[in-house]
Amino acid sequence: MRLISVLFAASLLTTVLHAESARQYSGDVYDVRTIRHMDKHPGSSELWEPYIAQWSGPHLVAAFGVKIPGKTDMGTIMASVSTDDGATWGDPVYIFDHSERHGTLQFGYANAILYKPPGHDVIWAFGMRVPMNYRHSEDGQLVGAYSADGGRSWIPVEMAMSYTGPLIVVAGIHRVMENGNPRYLLPAHRNSLRSDPQGDRSQFVLSSTTLMEWKLESHVPQPTSGPNVFLHEGNISESENPGELKMMMRTADYADERKMTDPPRAFSTISRDGGRTWSPAQQEPELWNAKSKAFYTKGANGSHLYVYNDGPANPAPGGRMALRYKIKPEGGQWSSEKTFYEAGLKNSYPTLIEVAPGDFRAVWDSGTKDRARTQIMFGKFRLAPEAK
């Protein structure tokens, strides 16, 4: 009995310590919570790349990766459920389990994406899978699953793919309506140049009318002037102009992906035909990007929101620390830099959803001062329009 009491006290202390660390921060995100810490996953090397969806009302679902030691970015993808608007989170369940065998095949998974189609009582999960003998997930294939019970259990589905090349998916699905019917756009990119000198690094878009069958829509052309750029992890939203779509992309040096662009900037591209074709990429002078996923969306009030890391991707101890954001009101200019979340810890890969006009829920991966991705974080954020 004494041992049980000690273990319970230790577990409670760990929970309290995690809650305390979540509260000691500065920034405009609030009600910050730790969804999951890697001490709950013995043998894992990181918790990384979360995504969030709203089932209904205060019922939220967060998916994230549990990384395999020795792999760059491969592991298992799991989902946790909150029924009280993020105040508490249940133990996660498997979406894609790397320990599960498919005959003689075994896969590692990466980069969870969640999407709940409006009016549907299912949530879809997407990601990539690669054979376990691969070192990293740069040559992945699209994988999908759905949940009909609010994220508590998941059923895998084989995607019907007209595009059959390697891909990497990170950003979420954007829906466009055409003649009363939905058409879904999924940004993806390719980094086959890492392992093949005849490969390439390109951003492109897949499309589907069913969420199960996907085809290649088009590639994003390189800038018309200056050197080629490694365009990737694009995030599609509505543009400033009616009928246009805009994709904001993470960037790196094309020839050497370890280097940032000079200067470190996000690049964007425009589509005026529902995502079928895209304009040549161009630099966004006001938007910082240093080889790290950023989040971009147009809110219900017409303002655009960009959430990003303020530092370089890799150098320790200063890489990928604080999360910052900028707002661009409808018809206005980008605001000055504001703090989203800063706690003297490593943070990266923010993703947000708008649950009501101007009211967002956010997830990101966080760590310690010296180590990245030891926990998955949740917070709330209100988008206040900037003066024009």
Q: What is the pLDDT of residue 386?
A: 67
DSSP state of 5: H
- Report whether pLDDT(363) > 50: yes
Q: What is the pLDDT of residue 137?
A: 87
- Report whether pLDDT(11) > 60: no
Which one, of 170, 22, 153, lies nearest residue 80 by Cα?
Answer: 153
Q: What is the pLDDT of residue 8?
A: 36
- Report whether pLDDT(16) > 50: no
Instruction: Tell me how many degrees the CA angle 160-274-306 measures, rounded to the nearest 5.
Output: 100
- Report whether pLDDT(388) > 80: no
Q: What is the pLDDT of residue 195?
A: 86
Q: Helices in 307-348 by DSSP H: which ranges?
A: none
- Report whether pLDDT(43) > 70: yes
- Report whether pLDDT(9) > 90: no
Looking at 2.102.10.10, 2.115.10.20, 3.40.50.300, 3.40.630.30, the CATH number of the domain 41-158 comes to 2.115.10.20
The residue-averaged pLDDT of 350-367 equals 97
Q: What is the pLDDT of residue 130?
A: 95
For a pLDDT cut of 90, what percent of the chain falls above it?
A: 85
- Report whether pLDDT(19) > 80: no
Compute the distance between CA of residue 261 and CA of residue 279 in angstroms, rounded to an integer: 20
Residue 124's SS3 state is strand
Residue 178's SS3 state is strand
DSSP state of 10: H
Residue 84's SS3 state is coil
Query: pLDDT tens digits, residue range 70-105?
Result: 998 999 999 999 999 999 999 999 999 999 998 899
Query: What mean pLDDT is reported for the chain?
Result: 92
Count other C-beta atoms under 10 Å from residue 99's C-beta: 9
Query: pLDDT tens digits, residue range 241-257?
Result: 999 999 999 999 999 99
Q: What is the pLDDT of residue 18?
A: 47
What percent helix, strand, coil does the chain show, rounded to 5? 5, 50, 45
And the tokens for 189?
């990119």
Compute the distance between CA of residue 117 and CA of residue 211 in angstroms, rounded to an integer: 9
The residue-averaged pLDDT of 29-36 equals 97
- 207 contacts 275 by C-beta, under 8 angstroms: yes
The residue-averaged pLDDT of 332-355 equals 97
Sorted by where each begins, the domain ranges of the chain are 41-158
CA atoms within 13 A on the CB side of 162: 13
Query: pLDDT tens digits, residue range 130-185?
Result: 999 988 888 899 999 999 999 999 999 999 999 999 999 999 999 999 999 999 99
Compute the distance between CA of residue 130 and CA of residue 74 in angstroms, rounded to an integer: 8
- 361 contacts 352 by C-beta, under 8 angstroms: yes
pTM of the model: 0.92
- Per-residue pLDDT band for 3 (boundaries 50, 70, 90) equals very low
Query: pLDDT tens digits, residue range 264-278?
Result: 999 999 999 999 999
- Report whether pLDDT(21) > 50: no
- Report whether pLDDT(14) > 70: no
Q: What is the pLDDT of residue 387?
A: 55
Strand partners, 354: 360
Query: pLDDT tens digits, residue range 272-328?
Result: 999 999 999 999 999 999 999 999 999 999 999 999 998 887 776 778 999 999 999
Compute the distance between CA of residue 381 and CA of residue 326 in angstroms, rounded to an integer: 13
Distant-in-sequence, close-in-space partners of 144: CB < 8 Å, separation ≥ 6: 124, 125, 126, 127, 156, 157, 158, 159, 211, 212
The residue-averaged pLDDT of 192-201 equals 91
- Report whether pLDDT(4) > 50: no
